[in-house]
Amino acid sequence: MTDTQAITSEDSISGPRRVVESGDARYTLLGTAHVSRASAEEVRKLIRSGEFDAVAIELCQSRYQSLTNPDALAEQDLFQIFRQGKAGMVAASLALGAFQQRVAEQSGIEPGAEMRAAVNESRDADLPLLLIDREVGTTLKRVYANVPWWQRMGLITGLFGSLLSRQEVSSDDIERLKQGDVLESTFNEFAEQSEALYTPLIAERDRYMALRLVEENPQDRYRNVLVVIGAGHLKGLAAHLEQPLPQPPTAEREQLEATPQRGRWWKAVPWLITALVLIGFAIGFSRDSELGWQLIGEWFLINGVLSSLGAAIALAHPLTVVATFFAAPLTSLNPTIGAGFVAAGVELALRRPKVRDFSQLRHDVAALKGWWRNRVSRTLLVFLLATVGSAAGTWIAGLRIAGKLFG
C-alpha cells in the first residue's frame, strides 16, 4: 500500500516536499531549486535531523564528479574529447549551465549548492549517497534524437542563442526559483509547447530516477531515504513511486539508458557524398580536362574558405585558420576524419589551455564573449564552427559541381 503526503512550510521547511511510503521504505522527496541558498540550508537541516539512513540526489556519475572535483575537465585530454566525438556534448552542457550560472552570480550562490550540501552532509553523517539521475550525455542524445530532423537546427541555435541575451534575471524571478514553483510551472508549459523535448528531458528522467531508487534500495534495506531533486521532478517522481515498479528494474532502466542509433543509411550518407563528388570529378575530366580542374578548384576553394571562415569566427590562431583551409577540402572527401577535428588539434597544439582556463570555464561561458576569451571553450568553438563551415562547403560545392555537369 502506497501513501503520499504533502508537507508544508509549517515543518520549518519552505521547499515543496512529498513523503511516499512504499512497502517498508519511506521516501522523503525534497523539491529544490538548483540555485538557492534556502534549498541548501533545507538539505542540511534534514540530513542533520538524524531521521534518514540514506540520501539520494539528482546527479549522474559525471555530474557528481564535476561537482566534487571542479578540475575533472582539466584532467581529461581535450584531444580525446574531440576524437571521441564528445565536443558537441561538452559544448551543449556548458551552454545549458550558462543561465544557471548567471542566476548564481546575481544571487551570490554557486550552481548545485543544494547537491553539494547533500554530498557533504551525507559524508559527514556517514550515510550512503545514491546517485539516481541518468547520465547527462545520454539525456542530451535522446533529446536530440527525439526531435524531428528539421527542428534540430532550431534546437541547437536556440540552446546557444540563449547566450546572446543580456537581460538580467530579476530578483523576483530568483526568489520564485528559490521557492520552486516557477520550475514546476515552467516544465508544465514546456510539455504543452514541445512534448518531443519534454519526454526525454523530464518525463523519462522522472521514471528513470524512480527505477534507480528501487534498484539502489533492494528489499527496502534503507527504511527512510531523503531524495533531493529539482522541484520540477517532484510530482512526476512521486507519481511513479506511488505505483508498483518492476522487480528487478534493470531491464527498463537499461532501455532508458540506450542511446538511439542512426540507421545504416545515415551512416552511408557521407560515403555516398564522397563517391558522388569523385564521380563528378571523373565526369568532368572525361568531358574536358579544363572542366575537371575547374571542378576540383571550386571544391577546394569553397570548402577551404567556408571551413577556415568558421575557424576565424572562433578567433582561432592564424596558423589554425590556414591549416583548416587546406585540410577541409581533403577531410570532406574522407568521412573518417573531419575538418573540425584537424582545426581543434592544431589549435590545441598552438594554444594549449592553462589551468586558469579550466578553473574559470564555468564563469566565462555564462557570457557570450567569455566563450572566445577562455581557451577551452574557444577550442570547442573552433571545432564546431570549422565543422559547420566544412559541412556547408560540401553541400554548396557539391551542388555547384552538379549544376556545371548537368545544368
Distance CA 181, CA 202 (A): 16
Which residue is it, cell 577531410?
331
Extract the C-alpha cell encoding 237.
517522481
Q: Quick check: helix, strand or coil at residue 261?
A: coil
Q: Quick check: helix, strand or coil at residue 7?
A: strand
- Determine whether 403 is exposed, middle or buried from the number of CB atoms within 10 Å of its CB (0-12, 13-18, 19+): exposed
Read off the amino acid at residue 321. Answer: V
Extract the C-alpha cell encoding 6.
504533502
- pLDDT, tens digit (0-9, with 9 covering 90-100), for 261-290: 766 777 788 888 899 999 999 999 999 999
Largest CA distance in the chain: 86
Query: Distances in Å between the alpha carbon of 208 and those of 27, 60, 76, 133, 205?
Result: 16, 11, 28, 7, 5
Distance CA 94, CA 379 (A): 13
Delimit the domains of the chain by residue range. Answer: 3-257, 264-406
Structure-derived torsion over alpha carbons of residues 368, 369, 374, 377, reported in degrees to the nearest 10: 40
Distance CA 245, CA 292 (A): 65
Q: Quick check: helix, strand or coil at residue 173?
A: helix
Q: Where does 223-317 have alpha helices with state H?
A: 234-241, 250-257, 264-287, 289-313
Letter string b/e over residues 12-32, b meaning 16 or more CB atoms within 10 A of that residue's CB: ebbbbbbebbbeebbbbbbbb
* Residue 248: cis peptide before it, omega within 30 degrees of 0: yes
Contacts of 251 (CB under 8 A, 6+ apart): none
Please work out, in degrees rounded to the nearest 5, the angle formed at the alpha carbon of residue 209 by the alpha carbons of 207 and 212.
110
Closest CA relative to residue 301, chosen from 387, 392, 397, 388: 397
The whole-angstrom distance between residue 79's C-alpha and the CA centroid of its chain comes to 19
Sheet containing 17-22: which strands, arranged edge to edge?
A: 3-7, 17-22, 25-32, 224-230, 54-57, 129-131
Which residue is it, cell 528501487?
214
159: Cα within 13 Å, side-chain hemisphere: 20
For the entire predicted model, the pTM comes to 0.73
pLDDT per residue of the chain (407 residues) written in tens, 0 to 9: 344 333 333 344 556 789 998 888 999 999 887 667 788 899 999 999 999 999 999 999 888 887 887 666 666 667 777 777 777 777 777 776 666 666 666 667 676 788 999 999 999 999 999 999 999 888 878 887 887 766 666 566 655 655 555 556 555 555 555 544 433 444 444 445 567 778 888 889 999 999 999 999 988 899 999 999 988 888 899 999 999 888 889 999 999 999 877 667 777 888 888 999 999 999 999 999 999 999 999 999 999 999 999 999 999 999 999 999 999 999 999 888 889 999 999 999 999 888 788 878 877 877 778 889 999 889 999 999 999 999 999 999 999 999 988 86
Contacts of 242 (CB under 8 A, 6+ apart): 2, 4, 20, 22
